[in-house]
Structures are given as C-alpha cells and as structure tokens.
Amino acid sequence: MKSFACLAWFESGEFDIAPNGLGDVFALANGDSIYVASAFLSDPAVYRSKAPISRVFGNVGRPELTLMIPPSHPRLAEPDLRSWKLINHCPFDGTFQNGFASTSLHLTFTDFEMPLDVGARGLRDRQVVLLESLVSIDDRGRKVGDLDILSMFDSERLTIEICPHMNEHEAQEGSPVDGLVSLDCWDEFLDPPRSAGVFRATGNWQARLSAAAAGIQAAWKRVLVLPESPCVRCLQNYKNMDESLLLVA
C-alpha cells in the first residue's frame, strides 16, 4: 500500500521508500505505534467504510522501522480424517448463531526478513526491514491456517452482500432455506459439503474475517459475506445451488 510509504516518511522524517515495493505490506511498526491496514481490524462487510489504516499502541520488539508482509503461499490445515465425528453438515435451519466463539487471530513472525535500501551507507545497523509475518487462525489452541487478508478483497470470487430488507421484522421473516448446509466448526469448513454452506459466526468479526479469507484460499468457488445482521430472506437467492458457495454469516 502506498500509504505505508507516506507513513514511513512521516514517522522517520528521512526514509523515502519507493511505494512500488510495498504492495504486500499490511502493517508498519515503529516505536510504540503499529499502523495496520484496517481490513485486519474489522468485519469484512464494513471495513471499506473506515480509514484504510488504523493505529494501535504497541511494538514488535524490534529497533528498526518494521514493515510486515504476508508469506507468498499461506497454508491452511488439511482435513483431519480423525475428526469425522465432528462433521455433520446439518441442513441450515434458518437461524443465525456464533459457533466460533473460540476462534481468534494471532500474529507471529517467520525467520525471513530483508533490509531495505534507504540510501544510508556505512552503518552497521539496519534502519528499515521487511519482516514476513503470519496472521493465523487459532481455534481452541489449534492452528487452522495462515491468511492473506488484503489479497482477499482483490479476488473476483468475493462478494459483499448488501441487504435490502431494512425493516428488522421483515428481515427476520423466513423459514429454513432448502439446499443450504450449516458450518458450525472448522472441521466442517475444511471438509466442505457439495452444496452451499452457511458459516455461522454471527456477531464475531474475527471468525467472519477468517472464514472469508480462508474461503478464498481454499477450494470454495465463491465467497459471499452477509451483513453483520444477516437476513434469512436474502439467502433465498442461493438455495439449492450445486456450486461450492460459502456464505459467511
């Protein structure tokens, strides 16, 4: 993001970094501030309405100005054949709930780092460094996978749904939707059904963000993010679909 090149200049007062080399950067850490792409800190259905970068207090324990980048090929966990008892793929009953209260996002670092040339010579210390960073899904202490969140929003397979049913009573009307399957745990997500699946994490922005990004990286052909207050009536458009469609509720 070009914004991080501007931030590097303002934070340091001297580092004029070419923006074309920072396309994958999602965060900048310097001193007691971490500037993060807002997509990492909000629900995927609403992040575009916010400023592109948010500041949080903290540090990553490094003296350099640190630019964080995702891995080239983030990995998701493979389906665990031993967890077959957890995979029910029950028909969607028309209710929305949060089955992923134990899901959270964690930041760690790999061993890859690369100093950037900022024009200074003769110094032993590095002043600016690219640091490969993993944003990982954790569920009850189990690592589900690593995410590349920014690239998700550039994918043609992602759709952000806008609900036209503004009246709350009208939006809640409805009955079970034929042909949709409920996904209430990560094992059901990693071993997807043959029909459209509803990832039920209502009110849990971290789980919804994780599901949307992981769905793009996985084998789902389309990923549709429902509004923060999902609507049963909107789902009628997707009933009895044969394609691999992930509905993030």
Counting residues of the chain whose pLDDT is more than 70, the rounded percentage is 88
Same domain, 42 and 163: no
Q: Residues 198, 247: contact at Cβ < 8 Å?
A: yes
What is the residue-wise DSSP string for 138-174?
Answer: EETTEEEEEE-HHHHTT-TTEEE------SHHHHH--
Greatest mean pLDDT among 1-5, 56-60, 219-223 lies in 56-60
Same domain, 67 and 91: no
What is the residue-wise DSSP string for 10-35?
Answer: HHHSS----GGG-TT--EEEETTEEE
Same domain, 126 and 202: no
Confidence of residue 178 (pLDDT cuts 50, 70, 90): confident
**133 has pLDDT over 70:** yes
Same domain, 65 and 131: yes
Structure confidence at residue 16 (pLDDT): 82
DSSP, res 236:
G
Q: Which domain holds residue 123?
A: 2-73+105-142
Same domain, 20 and 56: yes
Structure confidence at residue 169 (pLDDT): 46
Same domain, 155 and 232: yes
Note the pTM of the prediction, 2 decimals.
0.89
Domain end (from 142, 163, 189):
142
Same domain, 94 and 134: no
Structure confidence at residue 199 (pLDDT): 96
Confidence of residue 202 (pLDDT cuts 50, 70, 90): very high
Average pLDDT, the chain: 86
**242 has pLDDT over 80:** no
Same domain, 135 and 44: yes
Digit-coded pLDDT (tens) for 97-121: 999 999 999 999 999 999 887 766 6
The arithmetic mean of pLDDT across residues 138-158, rounded, is 94
Tokens standing for 25?
């950067």
Tokens standing for 23?
């396309």
**Which stretch of 86-90, 167-171, 195-199 has the lowest confidence by average pLDDT?**
167-171
Residues near 104 by beta carbon (within 8 Å), at least 6 away in sequence: 137, 138, 206
Domain end (from 142, 163, 193):
142
Same domain, 18 and 117: yes
Same domain, 204 and 230: yes
Q: Residues 26, 88: contact at Cβ < 8 Å?
A: no
Reference 165, options 94, 93, 241, 229; nearest CA is 229
Same domain, 112 and 219: no
Confidence of residue 127 (pLDDT cuts 50, 70, 90): confident
The arithmetic mean of pLDDT across residues 172-189, rounded, is 81
Q: Residues 33, 55: contact at Cβ < 8 Å?
A: yes
Helices (H) and strands (E) in the chain, counts: 6, 12
Q: Residues 29, 8: contact at Cβ < 8 Å?
A: no
Residues near 67 by beta carbon (within 8 Å), at least 6 away in sequence: 4, 8, 22, 25, 27, 28, 116, 128, 129, 130, 131
Give the count of domains, the chain.
2
Same domain, 128 and 217: no
